[in-house]
């Protein structure tokens, strides 16, 4: 059996039990632990000079991590990845900036990482690369002569061509993506945006079976919506219900209803709009004063990128303003907690709440939405209020789907969720659990890797045929 080599910008914390706030880390680590393999990427440290990977084995997973120099970190990570690609792919061109030096740094780091990985590779390894930091990684490996099968999965949205074209090297990036054998997206809409670019902007073609022909390459392009393990989450949520922080939250609520939100502190998550829609609920329906609180957990990320500092200030300002306007001596409408919590504890907190409030302005999938549903007690489940712009909306038919730009609609959905009868809550909950079980995290991994293996087999057969033909001629 060939080894699985997973490559992502950041390799998840190697210490068991340390909380990893981030959907990619959660998804990849769970997927890798079952099959075993190597996880290669950045250690999270900055170093004076690039050096050989540090290898650490834990169970059946080998972690191979490398440091980045300060210049690499600034140009590749903070710069082109997070100040150009992230905002643009989340349709925030207003926050996006382009700097040619940063793009050069992005390409340089991809090449350096490819050289470092090459030294670890065996001929029958299969390589699975993750996310927007590494769009050109396969092209770099191929230039170094690596012939192994290579797949790529994009965790964030892929924008429509008109938006993608605002990134100056868009064509070079899409061309580089065609060096993979399989390119996977979270949703059908993302897949369609990529195919539209290929057909209209790159003179390529696509066929019904998902094969794309462009820039002299054949690759499979499909949607592989990432899943979770709903039953394991349900179990953890139930087990942690009696832990101290969960109990003290419950006691502190004194019979009030609880709306829960958990997100990395990121402008794509629509936090300000979410607070304002909650404010509108309190304005429109004074009967809820003193009877409902919103708990927002938002661990900080990328806090050295300037736009992230602004969102933090903005949000703290909004929470303070709304609390100042409505709070009573014994009631704080919004509890805003700017820190990380233990994962199992989060699931138990979800289970305590009556509403999961997940309203990103754009999101590749959004695992929190799925985790919220999985955490619920089937006998008395909470209701999910979900943005139509989260990939998860394609998959969670029992949610109350809202447009996060429409504050009134969000306030109405909150009120409806808070008052929903038990039978309707139960029906909606079971409508969502069934597809989540069917498309759990192993299905995501196995479908992707199954496609990667079969495309790689087909292209190696085709290569042999071409070689034979060359000899015959």
Token pair of 94, please? 């207003």
Strands 355-358 and 4-10: unpaired
Count of residues for the chain?
Answer: 473
- Quick check: 12 and 58 in contact, CB under 8 A? no
What is d(CA 157, CA 362) in angstroms, rounded to the nearest whole number? 8
Token pair of 100, please? 């040619």
In the bound state with ligand GDG, the residue whose beta carbon lies nearer, of 22 and 290, is: 22
Alpha helix segments (H runs only) across 119-263? 137-143, 161-164, 170-177, 188-196, 230-239, 244-253
Ramachandran bin of 22, using left for φ above 0, alpha for ψ from -120 to 50, beta for the remaining angles:
left
Active site residues: 155, 363
What is d(CA 246, CA 181) in angstroms, rounded to the nearest whole number? 46
From 4, 7, 23, 73, residue interacting with ligand GDG (rule: CB under 6 A): 23
Cβ 366 to ligand GDG shortest distance, Å: 5
Interface with ligand GDG, residue 155, by CB under 6 A: yes
From 27, 87, 184, 204, residue interacting with ligand GDG (rule: CB under 6 A): 27
Cβ 337 to ligand GDG shortest distance, Å: 9
Token pair of 138, please? 């396969």
Interface with ligand GDG, residue 348, by CB under 6 A: no
Interface with ligand GDG, residue 24, by CB under 6 A: yes
Cβ 232 to ligand GDG shortest distance, Å: 13
What is d(CA 287, CA 213) in angstroms, rounded to the nearest whole number? 60
Q: How does DSSP classify residue 5?
A: E
Cβ 51 to ligand GDG shortest distance, Å: 29
In the bound state with ligand GDG, the residue whose beta carbon lies nearer, of 53 and 360, is: 360
Interface with ligand GDG, residue 21, by CB under 6 A: yes
Number of residues that bind ligand GDG (CB under 6 A): 26
Interface with ligand GDG, residue 299, by CB under 6 A: yes
In the bound state with ligand GDG, the residue whose beta carbon lies nearer, of 370 and 428, is: 370
In the bound state with ligand GDG, the residue whose beta carbon lies nearer, of 27 and 404, is: 27
What is d(CA 317, CA 38) in angstroms, rounded to the nearest whole number? 44
Cβ 18 to ligand GDG shortest distance, Å: 9
From 19, 290, 300, 435, residue interacting with ligand GDG (rule: CB under 6 A): 19
Beta-strand runs (E) in 265-316: 292-297
Interface with ligand GDG, residue 367, by CB under 6 A: yes
Cβ 340 to ligand GDG shortest distance, Å: 4
What is d(CA 128, CA 139) in angstroms, rounded to the nearest whole number? 14
Listed ranges 21-29, 48-56, 100-108, 328-336: which one lies at the site for ligand GDG (CB under 6 A): 21-29
In the bound state with ligand GDG, the residue whose beta carbon lies nearer, of 8 and 110, is: 8
Residue 8's SS3 state is strand
From 67, 227, 270, 364, residue interacting with ligand GDG (rule: CB under 6 A): 364
From 178, 262, 455, 456, residue interacting with ligand GDG (rule: CB under 6 A): 262
Token pair of 229, please? 């393990």
Helices 367-375, 230-239: crossing angle, 10 deg rounding: 60
Q: Which residues bind ligand GDG (CB under 6 A)?
A: 19, 21-24, 26-27, 155-156, 226, 262, 264, 297, 299, 340-343, 346, 363-368, 371
């Amino acid at each position: 059996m060939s080894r699985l080599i997973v490559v992502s910008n950041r390799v998840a914390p190697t210490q068991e039990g340390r909380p990893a706030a981030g959907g990619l880390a959660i998804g990849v680590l769970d997927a890798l632990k079952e099959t075993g393999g190597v996880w290669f990427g950045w250690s999270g440290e900055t170093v004076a000079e690039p050096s050989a990977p540090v290898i650490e084995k834990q169970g059946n997973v080998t972690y191979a991590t490398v440091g980045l120099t300060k210049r690499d970190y600034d140009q590749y990570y903070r710069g082109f990845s997070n100040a150009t690609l992230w905002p643009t792919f989340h349709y925030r061109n207003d926050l996006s900036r382009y700097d040619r030096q940063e793009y050069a740094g992005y390409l340089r780091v991809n090449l350096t990482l490819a050289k470092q990985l090459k030294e670890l590779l065996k001929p029958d390894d299969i390589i699975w690369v993750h996310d927007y930091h590494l769009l050109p990684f396969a092209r770099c490996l191929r230039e170094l002569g690596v012939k192994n099968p290579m797949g790529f999965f994009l965790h964030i949205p892929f924008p429509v061509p008109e938006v993608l074209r605002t990134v100056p090297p868009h064509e070079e990036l899409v061309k580089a993506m065609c060096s993979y054998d399989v390119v996977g997206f979270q949703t059908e809409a993302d897949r369609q945006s990529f195919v539209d670019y290929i057909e209209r902007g790159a003179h390529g073609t696509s066929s019904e079976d998902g094969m794309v022909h462009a820039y002299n390459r054949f690759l499979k392009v499909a949607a592989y919506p990432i899943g979770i393990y709903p039953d394991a989450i349900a179990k953890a949520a139930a087990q942690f219900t009696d832990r101290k922080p969960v109990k003290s939250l419950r006691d502190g609520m004194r019979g009030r209803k609880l709306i829960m939100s958990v997100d990395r502190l990121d402008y794509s998550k629509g936090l300000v709009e979410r607070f304002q829609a909650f404010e509108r609920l309190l304005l429109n329906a004074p009967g809820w004063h003193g009877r409902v609180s919103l708990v927002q957990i938002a661990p900080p990320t990328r806090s050295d990128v300037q736009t992230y500092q602004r969102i933090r200030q903005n949000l703290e300002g909004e929470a303070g303003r709304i609390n100042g306007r409505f709070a009573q001596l014994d009631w704080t409408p919004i509890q805003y907690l700017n820190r990380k919590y233990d994962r199992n504890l989060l699931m138990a907190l979800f289970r305590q709440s009556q509403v999961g409030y997940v309203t990103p302005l754009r999101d590749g999938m959004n695992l929190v939405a799925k985790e919220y549903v999985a955490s619920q007690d089937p006998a008395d489940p909470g209701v999910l209020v979900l943005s139509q712009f989260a990939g998860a909306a394609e998959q969670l038919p029992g949610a109350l789907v809202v447009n996060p730009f429409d504050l009134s609609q969000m306030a109405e959905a909150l009120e409806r969720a808070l008052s929903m009868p038990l039978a309707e809550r139960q029906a909606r909950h079971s409508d969502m659990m069934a597809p989540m079980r069917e498309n759990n995290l192993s299905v995501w991994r196995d479908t992707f890797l199954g496609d990667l293996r079969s495309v790689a087999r087909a292209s190696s057969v085709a290569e042999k045929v071409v070689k034979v033909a060359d000899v015959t001629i």
